[in-house]
Structure 1
Amino acid sequence: MGIVLGDLLSEVHKIAPQLPDESYQPIPSFEIEQLSRFNLAVLVRSDTELNGYRAADLTIKSPIPEGDLILQQVMCILDEYQLVQVKSPTTQFKISVDVPFWLRDLKIKIWECLEMPVSNTGNLISNITRRLETATSTEGVTNVTATATVIVAANSDRTILYATNTGNEWVTIGHKAALLSGQGILLSPNGGNYAIESGNLDKRGLWGVCATGKTTTVAFYEGTGEEVAQT
């Protein structure tokens, strides 16, 4: 199965307050509460920042009698779907959204994701939602350590790229060889996802690195071809 969106669970638009001197205050952090679907697709956009990178940092929390239990943290990229599998000990959870100070507006949509591009065993599977005409694809698993490792090479014909952290440690991924731990896209252990699909493609190579002394595995799927149908 590929990515299939279900109900739209939340849609929020935040605008930075403008000051008398025509500067802007940062958009305050906010929370999206009472979520009860555990497979999510998150899309963050901005009308004023078209060429940006980091869009928002999400902290997923579960309310317990002692306070809020932090379940996982996810960094979202502008105009790219971020897939999140929430493992909560309670029936409801909430998401705290931290907005980069330079964004003057932010739109965030959260859907239930009816089908995720990973199987129950954590391996990426190749039947993506979009069928590709004369498509070729590669998939595999890469061991990632504290030394930056190539997860998948550059590909000028790429139309789909998924990477999933299938190991037990946090991993940083990014599109430069001199990648440092914590300075890129952070994927949470056991299912943190990075996804690029038609419409916003990065054809550069993808690298990964763990913190010193840590090792994890990253599964990837990439495809090339012409989109001819959507299921």
Structure 2
Amino acid sequence: MKRIFNGVGALAGLALSASAFSGPIALYPTGPSQDSAYLRFVNAADTSLELTPEGAKTSLKLENGQAVSGFIPVSGGRPIRGTLSRDGKSVPLDVKVNAGDFATVFVLADARQGIRQVLVSEAFDIPNQLKASLALFDADSGCSDARINLAGRDVDLFQKAPPGNPRRQELNPRASLAVQLVCAGSPEGSPVELGALEANKRYSLLLLPSSTGPRLITATDSLSN
């Protein structure tokens, strides 16, 4: 349990994103801190997404171009249930996140049901307080051999990162960083500007499918309490 306590303490210094929510942040009940897990949502569509937790009177909404929620505290190892709604269609949410893990639910488009979910979990490790931490989450199977190059250079930013999904890399802090998505050896879209990367903060690059092809969005990993 030590890893969980230390991980939560390290995240406490991150910027909070309470403005992401339409109601109170405590959408789901949680137990003791050592049993907590964390869950966020990524809306891959341009239209609003709503999560209605099972048995709750409040909901979470991602709207007005907002694609990523903050991390919501949930009970680790227990079913997290609710309903995801978008464009007049709804599907059940039923996921489980191990205690101490940080999970991302990608809410993608589906031709039949309207919504398809992809869950990616990450075990939290205490970051190097002198470095910025950047992760690549891949939710687009259409981008084969996905790479993130430094803009204008044939240098894979995650070449030293452990394999898997996500792939997380520690970087020296910098005032700005621009990257280029590469699929199957060819650049995809325009370079993406990440802005400043600060020491002891965690960031995400989220690779999503869209009607115009693979796209990257960026987010600062943050708690929502």
Report the TM-score, using the length of structure 2 for normalisation.
0.29
Q: More strand by proportion, 1 or 2?
A: 1
Higher RCO (C-alpha under 8 Å, 6+ residues apart): 1
